A and B are shown apart, each in its own frame.
Chain A
């Protein structure tokens, strides 16, 4: 619980600076310092246990289904990093109070700083890999906001964007690696993962997992070839650089190297990858740092170099290398943070960070100069300072390792080479800024010493450098031992943190580097000329060009090709995709024929099927002649009715027949208002493409149907058949399903139908139309209404209405029902319009169809609600026998009321659609009808 509180404190504390912002800058800083100070107290309360080797754990279920838990652990390694994060954070807050000018929004700055602090604490204490990734991303996001703190500046925005892109991309790779790792181990719990190193290393996925996780680590810790973002992140305020880019965030990468050391290390791939990347980064960073004129640029490359050194140590095959790596992480954090702060003071008090302008500042800021001198000495590895001890250990391990077999001597040689440059840039840092002739007139601001409290954090850090350098065992001996024990997951190898180990090879190498480094600095001008002859690469421009190329140019090409604005193109891709998905499902099938014997062919069925096939193909081939194609289509539709009749579906046959008539009438009406021919606007290639898509879709569906048809059936229909008479009071099971068992579906369906009808009514309102009579390409017949139809129609209406009533009444027991009866009535009424014209019909049918639709849906709904008054669920049906004189015994069910609703809705919707379409037409022909 205490442990969770340490991580939670900064997150809760985010509100403090925002609140105390209005009470002045000092109050704001004090409030911000509260959470880390409390955190430190809590952390130290755990110190005795943790330093003794205990692991404190805290766990709370979050999303256990995903293996994601709020699990934290505090072991030696976590303790070390927590200490760095909290203590340096506290110093940075103090420093930031004096660094920020009164124009800068301090509340925002401290709030973001606390947010970052919380995320960072989460990374180092997470005991669940997914949780770790989560916090990892949170550090990327909060550092993005911190780097772009001065968001009015273009370089800050661009630097922040680059840092986020690189670390974010690495984070994604790491997430992939972690997911694979979790899959291999079977758990994301760090305790389990760390204990299954053997299993992971022998798994076939190990190389993939390792490379993915290393990608995340290397991007975060600015390792070659991803180092380029760090120098550009220097556009952040200096406290941010001091905190994120020396002590904490960039250390997250090497932290993870240490954290996963027991699980992932120990293979040749690990040693080669980690040590080579570290070696290249260390050398590249050290050499580049010497030639940077910007003080923060120098420190940024120096940081890259030192991170490379730590990475290299984790990649060496000696156990002591890990101890050296952890030791150097601590030392680097202390001296680099203080150097950044010193640069901040120089920048703050002189207005520039350019080493070509700065000179002789010792006279104006003696205290800062002295502190800077000591810190830079630690960076260069001068004896009696902490940097010396870890560098000696590093050189010792560089000599002892055998990573490259016969070529292993390369590593110590390159290490000395890098160290030469490290010494040279350390001397340059101090000499060019604080020594030499003073020339205050060249500076933007008259230089003077900074306030004491701004120097105090540096003083503390430099004091630590000295203390650790002189009495290492006393200060950090136990802490280092605890952290290294955690990382190595075994008892420690023997080592001693003494200052003097006697004359040995590492000491000799150090001395050689010191001498050569001094020589190099003396010849700086000559080296600089050499350096400037190298082709200069602007990482920012290269990166932005790359991103622009990928995101804008390439992406647009891909999008342009897929989304070319043609709906036909989209649809063909969609259908092809569906075919592929369905085909891959069918692929595993051993044989298409499932073994059920095929039923015999009979001549009528074959004839119907053949006619349907031929007419369907004709309608596709001759679709340019729309009326002809529509005729073919209607033949297919009538064939459908026959098929339904053939295969024991009389209800469907009746419905299909009536719907077919209504549909064809509708399409004929529409054709009057659309061009009667389609122009030929598909190229040959398009026709072939569409033909292939259509063929593959057809074959796919056909194969699917055949495979199902030849396999035994399992159905849930038996329930309906058994309960139709007893439960629904009807023998026509299809109708009973519609109005009773699944009445709610039918209710939804007639509602949809009503909505469609009203939608059509809305679409027709205010429609601009082409006058078909003005189309010169079409010859319209000038006949009045056909006489034969007129005469025949007279007896048809009453007959049709009677048939409808009959069909409706018998629907519950025999084929029929509200749907079919409604369609028959609608057809009979439409026939009136067709035969007699709109004017004649409207005079005789003077009602609106909207209320009819509404009444239908309402009646169906009320019938359903009615069952509530009897305490039964929605749409429960009741039925009983009645004796009616003359007609005899009949059975009535409340479902019939529901069916009346269906009937009314169908009649209303159909007529609403068709009559209104007819009216459109009449607008143009009204004058003719009046004649």
Chain B
């Protein structure tokens, strides 16, 4: 069971990371969801796998680890708030930028000309003195 559980966590992490690396916002949101599943399972694994031993006093001889469960419970709820926030952020980004690419522009790995010019102008201001000084006396 432990091995199966570890493989499940591995696959959820792997697919989550893969989706996280996609170029569009929606797959990234799904990737975040998958990774939070993996993280929650990982947290559960920290309390080890117990069957039929809920952490309810009086229900049995021994109990599963309640601390990791409390952690996961808050993680699930916070995760929902975070997912909601980034989806709406993605929505807003599409509204402002006209596309849903994570970089904010469609062409992969290339800045729009206007941004590039602004950045180069800022770079050239320093270091100009070093190259174009007066001749030595």
**Across-interface contacts of A909 in B (CB, < 8 A):** 81
A793 interfacial by beta-carbon distance below 8 Å: no
Query: Are A721 and B2 interface neighbours, CB within 8 A?
Result: no
User: What B residues does A161 contact at CB under 8 A?
Assistant: 130
Residue among A571, A717, A738, A763 with the most chain B CB within 10 A? A717
Please give, as numbers and ranges, the residues of chain B lying within 8 Å of A640 by CB-CB distance: 37, 40-41
Determine the chain B residues whose CB is within 8 A of the CB of A655 once the complex forms: 73, 76-77
Contact flags (1/0) for A759-786 with B, using CB distance below 8 Å? 1100110011110000000000000000
Contacts of B96 in A (CB 8 A): 768
On whether A734 and B66 interact (CB within 8 A), knowing A612-B8, A678-B27, A819-B73, the answer reads yes
Nearest CB to that of A680 among chain B residues? B23
A854 to chain B, nearest CB (A): 16
Encode contact with A along B4-25: 1 for CB under 8 Å, 0 otherwise: 1111111111111111111111
Distance from A653 Cβ to chain B, minimum over Cβ atoms (Å) = 10
Query: In the complex the two chains form, is A701's CB within 8 Å of B9's CB?
Result: yes
Cβ-based interface call for A22 (8 A): no
Bound-state Cα–Cα, A609 to B10, Å: 12
Q: Is the CB of A674 within 8 A of B100?
A: yes
Name the CB-closest residue of A to B2.
A709
Q: How close is B81's CB to chain A, nearest CB, in angstroms?
A: 4
Chain A residues positioned under 8 Å from B123 (CB to CB): 556
> Are B27 and A674 in contact, with the CB atoms below 8 A?
no
The contact of A815 among B41, B56, B64, B136, by CB within 8 Å, is: B56
A814 partner residues in chain B, CB cutoff 8 A: 56
A666 surroundings in chain B (CB, below 8 A): 83-84, 87
Q: What number of A-B contacts does a CB cutoff of 8 Å give?
A: 336
A720 touches B83 (CB 8 A): no
Q: A566-B108, A737-B66 are in contact. Are A691 and B18 (CB under 8 A)?
A: yes
- Partner-binding segment picked from A426-434, A499-507, A618-626: A618-626
A681 surroundings in chain B (CB, below 8 A): 23-24, 101, 106, 108
Given the known interface contacts A652-B69, A733-B66, A768-B96, the answer about A753 and B102 at a Cβ–Cβ threshold of 8 Å is no
Which residue of chain B is the closest to A650 with respect to CB atoms? B54
List A674-703 residues whose CB lies under 8 Å from chain B.
674-675, 678-679, 681-682, 690-691, 693-695, 697-699, 701-703
**Which residues of the partner chain B approach A839 to less than 8 Å between Cβ atoms?**
none
Interface residues on B, range: 35 or more
Q: Which residues of B contact A922 (CB under 8 A)?
A: none
A725→B9 contact, CB < 8 A: no
**Closest A-B pairs by Cβ, 7 of them:** A702-B10, A698-B14, A706-B6, A694-B18, A733-B66, A648-B64, A756-B81
Nearest Cβ on chain A to B65's Cβ, whole angstroms: 5
* Cβ contact within 8 Å between A694 and B56: no
| Most chain B CB atoms below 10 A, which of A566, A671, A693 | A566
Q: Please encode chain B, from 29 to 53, with 1 for each CB lying within 8 Å of some chain A CB and 0 for all others.
A: 1100110011011101111111111
Minimum C-beta distance from B58 to chain A (A): 6
* A652 in contact with B76 (CB, 8 Å): yes
A161 to B131, CA, bound (A): 13
Closest to A623 in B: B27
B122 within 8 Å of A (CB atoms): no
Q: How far is the CA of A690 from the CA of B51 in the complex (A)?
A: 37
Complex partner residue of B102 from A548, A567, A650, A742, CB under 8 angstroms: A567
Using known A-B contacts A599-B1, A721-B57, determine if residue A764 contacts B110 with beta carbons closer than 8 Å.
Answer: no
At the interface, yes or no: A731 with Cβ under 8 Å from chain B?
A: yes
CA distance A572 to B21 in the complex (A): 7
The verdict on B113 contacting chain A, using a C-beta distance below 8 Å, is no
| Chain A residues positioned under 8 Å from B130 (CB to CB) | 158, 161, 544, 547-548
How would residues 740 to 765 of chain A score, 1 for a CB under 8 Å from any chain B CB and 0 otherwise?
A: 00100110010011001101100110
Contact across chains for B69 and A154 when beta carbons are under 8 A apart: no
CB distance A697 to B30 under 8 Å? Answer: no
Whether A606 is near chain B, meaning CB under 8 Å from some CB there, is yes
Residue of A whose beta carbon sits closest to that of B65:
A717
Contacts of B72 in A (CB 8 A): 644, 649, 652
